[in-house]
Amino acid sequence: GSQLASSLQLALWANANAKAKQEQVPEARSASRAYLTTYMLLCVLTGISCFFFFLGIQFVAMRGSRNLHAMFMQGLLQTELRFFDLTPTGRALNRCLKDMATIDDRMPAAFRELFES
């Protein structure tokens, strides 16, 4: 929303500047300063909203990672000992680490793409 507002403000500023240049309006400089101030405020608002958006995505990803880790640990602790006799420790550990890396690395990007489209 704020990106659209800043783009519209920039278009209004450009149109007012072109019109003032054609008509040679003496107070165009002060009007231009007002457009610039509004545009800068909208840009700052866009930056702040993007920061909080990405911060929220990181919190959701962190919670998902914690839940997945808890489920991994619960599953491993409830597994029969026969599983550990048949499966090399490195293979089980690599599988857990790969799944955790997928959640930690790919999920925030997937959430961002979902909300940006």
30 compared with 68, residue with greater pLDDT: 68
Q: How confident is the model at residue 95 (pLDDT cuts 50, 70, 90)?
A: confident
100 close to 68: Cβ distance less than 8 angstroms? yes
Q: Does the structure show a pLDDT above 80 at 116?
A: no
Residue 52 tokens read as 């909080």
Distance CA 51, CA 54 (A): 5
Residues near 17 by beta carbon (within 8 Å), at least 6 away in sequence: 28, 32, 35
pLDDT score recorded for residue 102:
81
Q: Minimal CA–CA distance to 14: which of 25, 31, 26, 1?
A: 31
- The larger pLDDT score, comparing residue 2 to residue 97, is at 97
- pLDDT higher than 90, residue 48: yes
pLDDT over 70 at 117, yes or no: no
**What is the spatial distance between Cα 58 and Cα 23, in angstroms, rounded to a whole number?**
51
pLDDT confidence of residue 52: 92
Identify residue 88 by its one-letter amino acid code: P
On the question of pLDDT at 64 being above 90, the answer is no
Computed on alpha carbons and rounded to an integer, the radius of gyration of the chain in Å comes to 27
Q: Count Cβ atoms below 10 Å from residue 108 Cβ, excluding itself.
A: 19
Average pLDDT, the chain: 82
